[in-house]
Amino acid sequence: MKAFVVDKYKKKGVLRLANLPQPELRDDDVLVRVRATGVNLLDSKVRDGEFKLILPYRPPFILGHDVAGIVVRVGPKVRRFKAGDEVYARPRDHRVGTFAEFIAMDEADVALKPKNISMEEAASIPLVGLTAWQALVEVGKLKPGQKVFIQAGSGGVGTFAIQLAKHLGAIVATTTSAKNVALVKSLGADLVIDYKTQEFEKILSGYDLVLHSQDAKALEKSLRVLKPGGLLISISGPPDPEFAREQGLNLFLKLVMRLLSRGARKKAKSLGVRFSFLFMRAQGQQLSEITSLIESSAIRPVVDKTFPFEKTGDALAFVETGRAKGKVVITVAD
């Protein structure tokens, strides 16, 4: 099969198109013919080596964290899927590799694709959908009438999280540039702040939850918009001791995580609010819940551009510009 691989960790490193054997099928695996794959900033960070201490891959390895396709074969212990099923997934860490013609994944990570959207639209959903779900539903426990501030509303996570928060009955504030105001309002944002001309920390106050996806400076400002007892969930760092425990990291890395997040945790405590770091995980059952929301039209995919498989490098470069509205997708096969 054809696949785009990382030969060595390198910032802005070029992906190599290689001919590789089809992946081996484990007892609990489904083998999927990839029809489309989503592109995420996470792909760039993994290639650059930013996560190699906590998420090591041994080069050469195949990149890619989102997939939609058709089941070709299943392992002997698989019960939920059969050959011919249209599925989508975010394969678990250490088993990623969706920039390829085939991928084998644990059935626990996979869900049936929503019937009312295309393969390309489906491929745009898993990573950002699960990130938003785990932040707002699982960790944040967002309730009707609560106020949530979602940063970068026109981005991949933002476009999904706004819709999910509105479905949950929340009041949503977000930041974006002037040209994307109409987009985020169409997704349900109640209050839109132009980050180029306005300062969100001077406008927002008394918020129950913040979904933080930007830098440390924005994090400190965001803690101040929370009401006492409010919660900031960061998907951009710094990682905290709880994350280190969940990942089973060694003592040295646990100490590193504690030091990295010390400032944020101390600031949150001084303000009477809470800080939590989220590193999303593969979860097929949650993805099935998301399928139901898409099929009921409660949430719609937002895809900016679609690239052909041979232009995978160009797709990754476009995502790195930070200008994508929603998601960027690669068509792997018809």
In the chain, what are the domain boundaries? 2-124+301-331, 127-277
Task: Give residue 333's pLDDT.
Answer: 80
Give CA–CA dist 32/105, Å, rounded: 8
Note whether 2-124+301-331 and 127-277 share their fold. no
Give this prediction's pTM: 0.98
Tell me the C-alpha distance between 186 and 182, whole Å: 6
Per-residue pLDDT of the chain (334 residues; tens, 9 = 90+): 999 999 999 999 999 999 999 999 999 999 999 999 999 999 999 999 999 988 999 999 999 999 999 999 999 999 999 999 999 999 999 999 999 999 999 999 999 999 999 999 999 999 999 999 999 999 999 999 999 999 999 999 999 999 999 999 999 999 999 999 999 999 999 999 999 999 999 999 999 999 999 999 999 999 999 999 999 999 999 999 999 999 999 999 999 999 999 999 999 999 999 999 999 999 999 999 999 999 999 999 999 999 999 999 999 999 999 999 999 999 998 7
**Does CATH number 3.50.50.60 belong to domain 2-124+301-331?**
no
Task: Say if residues 291 and 250 touch (Cβ distance below 8 Å).
Answer: no
For CA atoms 235, 237, 242, 248, the dihedral sign is: positive
Q: Is it true that the peptide bond before 238 is cis, omega within 30 degrees of 0?
A: yes
Whole-angstrom Cα distance, residue 28 to residue 92? Answer: 13
User: Tokens for 148?
Assistant: 């949530």
Give the CATH number of domain 127-277. 3.40.50.720
